[in-house]
Amino acid sequence: MSTFSAAAWARNAGLYETIRNMPFNTELAAGTLSEERFKHYITQDAHYLIGFGKGLAIAAAKAPDPERMVQLANSAQGAIVVERALHGTFFADYGIAPEVFEASPLSPACHHYVSFITATAWSEPYEVLLAALLPCFWIYAEVGNDILARAASPNPYAAWIETYAGEEFQDAVKTMIATTDEAVAEAAPAVRAKAHDAFDRAVQLEWMFWDSAYRLETWPV
Ligand SMILES: Cc1ncc(CO)c(N)n1
């Protein structure tokens, strides 16, 4: 049987192609993405990263051995470090005041994604939780590399691109893939099937997150 990650990626290869060609990512690479759309994105992403960090911290608590605990706890910290960077430099550069951020609601797509992660974190076993968190790493590593390869230079979004195409993030992703494969390899078939469902759902939610930023999504009522 192939590794979980190879099977999961193969199931989502078509959707990954769709994601990398989304207007948000194409325009970000070209440097033509509107500031309004990028601001919507980083505001929602700051909200998202707090939920993502919480999911990773719960995964750390569920980990079967101290090595994995430390790794996942470090990733939880990493998510908050990126969130702080958004809050610091990015919010300052784009004129997003802290109180404006505090008062901003999660968009429907962000709310859905964070709710999915926290529900999975509290209700599902370790293997399924890792599978739900893996696309957040893996899709960004692939999209980051893909955008870097075709990015216009200079690009107003260079700092964002470097975060995800950078070696530190790329290494964290490789470790997360290995950790997920190791966990799912020992899981019962029913758990492996749930892990696939969680991975597929997270890839869909990644698409929805970028799409919602592009549409400047708000609550309809
Ligand atoms: C929505 C989303 N998914 C994944 C990442 C990468 O951690 C991010 N910053 N935001």
Write down the ipTM of this complex.
0.98
Q: In ligand 1, which atom is closest to the CA atom of 205? A: 1
Instruction: Convert the pLDDT of each residue in 5-63 to its tens digit.
Output: 999 999 999 999 999 999 999 999 999 999 999 999 999 999 999 999 999 999 999 99
Entry pTM: 0.97
Degrees to nearest 5, angle at CA 184 with 182 and 188: 135
Q: Specify if 220 maps to a domain.
A: no
Our count of domains for the chain comes to 1
**Probe target for ligand 1 pocket from 24, 41, 43, 52, with the most ligand atoms within 8 Å of CB:** 52
CA-nearest residue for atom 6, ligand 1, is 136
Q: Specify if 66 maps to a domain.
A: yes
H helix or E strand, kind and range, residue 37 = helix 35-62
Q: How many CB atoms lie within 10 A of CB 197?
A: 12
Q: Specify if 128 maps to a domain.
A: yes
Instruction: Convert the pLDDT of each residue in 178-209 to its tens digit.
Output: 999 999 999 999 999 999 999 999 999 999 99
pLDDT of residue 100: 94
Instruction: Convert the pLDDT of each residue in 85-102 to its tens digit.
Output: 988 999 999 999 999 999
**If DSSP codes are grouped into helix, strand and coil, which group holds residue 147?**
helix
**CA pseudo-torsion sign 129, 116, 16, 50:** negative
Q: Specify if 207 maps to a domain.
A: yes
Q: Specify if 107 maps to a domain.
A: yes
Ligand 1 centroid, distance to 66 Cα (angstroms)? 25
| Full domain range(s) for residue 164 | 4-214
Across the range 166-176, mean pLDDT stands at 96
Q: What are phi and psi of 134, to 5 degrees?
A: -60, -45
Q: Specify if 79 maps to a domain.
A: yes
Portion of the chain with pLDDT greater than 90, in percent: 98
Q: Specify if 221 maps to a domain.
A: no
What are the pocket residues of ligand 1 if the criterion is a CB atom closer than 6 Å to any ligand atom? 45, 48-49, 136, 140, 206, 209
- CATH code at 53? 1.20.910.10
Q: Specify if 219 maps to a domain.
A: no
